[in-house]
A and B are shown apart, each in its own frame.
Chain A
Amino acid sequence: MRVLALYNIKGGVGKTSSAANLAYLAAREGRRTLLWDLDPQGAATFMFRVKPKVKGGARKLLEGGRRLEAVIKGTDFEDLDLLPADFSYRKLDLALADMKKPARRLASLLQALDDEYDEVFLDCAPSISLLSESVFVAADALLVPTIPTTLSLRMLDRLERHLVKRRRFRRARILPFFCMVDCRKKLHREITAGVGVQPEFLQTSVPYSSLVEKMALNRAPVNRFASWSAPAKAYEQLWAEIRERVPAG
Chain B
Amino acid sequence: MVQTEVAFTVADEAGLDRVVEALGDRYALESEKAVRQRTYFDTFDWRLWRRKSRLWLQPSASGPQLRWQSEGRARAERLDLRSDDLQTIGFAADLPASPFRQKLASVITMRRLLPIVEVKAEGRLLRVLDRRRKTVVRLVAEVPAARAPGSRQRRRPLAPILIVRGVRGYPDDFRKLVRFLGKELGLEEWDADEFEAGSALGGFGRAGEYTSKPNVPLDVATPADEAVRQVLRALLGAIEKNHAGTVADLDSEFLHDFRVAVRRTRSALSLTRKLWPEARIEPLRREFSWLGKLTGPTRDLDVYLLELPGSTAKLAESVRRDLEPLRELLEARQQGAQRRMATELESARYRELIEAWRAFLEHPPADEERPEAAREPIGTVASRLIRKAHRKVLKRGRKISDDSPPEDLHRLRIDCKKLRYALELFRTLYPPEEIDRPVRALKRLQDNLGAFNDYGIQKRMLVGLAEELIDADSGGTTAVMALGRLVGELEQGEARERSRFAEAFGKFSSAKTVERFRVMFVDGGSE
Contacts and interface: CB of A to CB of B under 8 A. Distances in A.
B78 A30 contact: yes
Which bracket fits the contact residues of B?
A: 10 to 19
A233 interface: no
Residue of A28, A71, A74, A78 ringed by the most chain B CB atoms within 10 A = A74
Contact of B168 (A28, A29, A73): A73
Interface in B156-173: 166-170
B70 interface: no
B61 A28 contact: yes
Contacts of B62: 29-30
B78 A49 contact: no
Contact of A74 (B60, B132, B133, B169): B169
Interface string B420-433: 00000000000000
Interface string B438-478: 00000000000000000000000000000000000000000
Nearest to B67: A30
A30 B65 contact: yes
A52 to B, nearest CB: 12
Nearest to A81: B168
B75 interface: yes
Nearest to A77: B135
A105 interface: no
B168 A76 contact: no
A211 interface: no
Contact of B132 (A29, A49, A72): A49
A226 to B, nearest CB: 16
Contacts of A74: 135, 166-170
Interface in A1-49: 28-30, 32, 49
A78 B140 CA distance: 12
B169 A72 contact: yes
Contacts of A76: 127, 134-135
B417 interface: no
A70 B127 CA distance: 22
A78 B163 CA distance: 14
A32 B73 CA distance: 14
Residue of B167, B168, B170 ringed by the most chain A CB atoms within 10 A = B168
A75 interface: yes
B285 interface: no
Interface residues of A, number: 16
B61 A72 contact: no
Contacts of A72: 168-169
B170 A73 contact: yes
Residue of A71, A72, A73 ringed by the most chain B CB atoms within 10 A = A73
Nearest to A79: B75
Contacts of A71: 169
Interface string A79-122: 00100000000000000000000000000000000000000000
B169 A29 contact: no
A50 interface: yes
Nearest to B58: A30
Contact of A73 (B61, B138, B169): B169
A74 B60 CA distance: 21
Given A72-B169, A74-B170, A29 B60 contact: yes
Nearest to B125: A78
A51 B134 CA distance: 10
Nearest to A243: B62
A32 B61 CA distance: 14
Contacts of A28: 61
A50 B134 CA distance: 7
Given A74-B135, A75-B135, A78-B138, A32 B75 contact: yes
A50 B135 CA distance: 10
Contacts of B127: 76
Given A28-B61, A29-B60, A30-B65, A49 B133 contact: yes
Nearest to A49: B134
A232 to B, nearest CB: 13
22 contacts: A29-B60, A29-B62, A30-B60, A30-B61, A30-B78, A49-B132, A49-B133, A49-B135, A50-B169, A72-B168, A72-B169, A73-B168, A73-B169, A73-B170, A74-B135, A74-B166, A74-B167, A74-B169, A75-B135, A75-B167, A76-B127, A219-B133
Given A49-B132, A50-B169, 18 more contacts: A29-B62, A30-B60, A30-B61, A30-B62, A50-B134, A51-B132, A72-B168, A72-B169, A73-B170, A74-B135, A74-B166, A74-B169, A75-B135, A75-B167, A76-B127, A76-B134, A81-B168, A219-B133
Interface of B: 60-62, 65, 75, 78, 127, 132-135, 138, 166-170
Interface of A: 28-30, 32, 49-51, 71-76, 78, 81, 219
